[in-house]
Amino acid sequence: MLSTPFRKRHDDKKRLLAIDGGGLRGILAVEVLARMESDLRRTLGDADLVLSDYFDYIAGTSTGGIIATCLSLGMAVDDIRRFYFESARYIFQINRNPLSRVIFSKYQPDGFERLLREVLGSDTTLGSGRLKSLLMLVMLNASTCSPWPVSSNPQALFNQAGEECNLDIPLWQLVRASAAAPLLFPAEAIRIGGRTYLFRDGALTSLNNPAMKLFQMASLPAYRLGWPNGADRMLLVSVGTGSCPVEIAQPSWKTNQLAATIGQAVRSLMAAGSAEQDLACRILGRCVAGEPIDAEVGGLHGSAGWGLPPLFTYARYNAELTLRGLDAIGCASFAGNRFQLDDIASLPVFQAIGKAVAETRFDIAHFDGFL
């Protein structure tokens, strides 16, 4: 179901939504978003409301970028959930060439790319009028070895008319680039301003959790949007895909040690980056929701961490995928799962955890002042 025309708010408050990367664990975030959408519909008295009607700016990395793009296009969360369950086996199609599978990528990108074209539209660009909210996607520019957060903000420096205008890039290609997980999918080549760049999964940057970067792009004058900040003027909502400690594999004749180490290092980078971005948001904002960062810092709920006026109201919804964390939300029976990013068989497990997070962590009261 697509949204009715964008419902303009008649206040000066801004609402931002950021979604982490995490492969098929993205269904965890989808279930939290489903509860969010349902409660907003009930609270605001609008049975047809979708999240792009409520949020002004939506951002995502990797699988979070897929979700963010679908939301920004006006899709209801039910449709995104259906996409995950119906499309997973087409996205993760094994590379039939054994040598290529080991050297380049485990999966062929053809099915993934075909699905993105079908769902997002082959001709839909970043500057398309189909987008019902501003959109930010995060990827790694492997050609320059730098993070590349790209936004649909028409005022942004690199969105001005010309051959280097990012708004002219096909949306499906940007999403594909943001989700080009190393070892799983090959890099995505995008031609910009007469030069071809290679892009990889945004999780390879420190922005797997794009919440702080989203705030920066929404409020810093350099990004040419300059929305006013303050705990009563800006709401920043961050949704994770589950975090868990990563143990680097020990050498074994049964495993490809290099591939295993790289894969686990990527997961470790994702977890550490997400945690640091979360911590920064809690320090600078007024945190109203979020599980403890760690035993030392705690949750930092309430005022900004340094005692300065908070720059935004902040809510974080995520799950710690350890026995302790899962037990806290009634999901201890799933503690033995490896939570692999491409484990299709575990989709129902990821979904159950997401529903538990939605049930135990989300409260529409966290949005008080922005309803």
252 is catalytic: no
Residue tagged 């020990």 (tokens): 250
141: closest CA among 204, 93, 214? 204
354: closest CA among 3, 18, 8, 35? 35
Contact 366, 357 (CB under 8 A): no
Distances in Å between the Cα of 282 and the Cα atoms of 153, 217, 341 are 26, 18, 27
Given 3, 62, 243, 274, the catalytic residue? 62
What CA–CA distance (Å, rounded) separates 330 from 335? 11
Given 20, 201, 278, 342, the catalytic residue? 201
* Longest distance between any two alpha carbons in the chain, whole Å: 63
39 is catalytic: no
Using DSSP's 3-state secondary structure scheme, residue 304 falls into coil
341: closest CA among 206, 192, 208? 208
What CA–CA distance (Å, rounded) separates 110 from 95? 10
213: closest CA among 167, 128, 150? 150
Which residues are part of the catalytic machinery? 62, 201
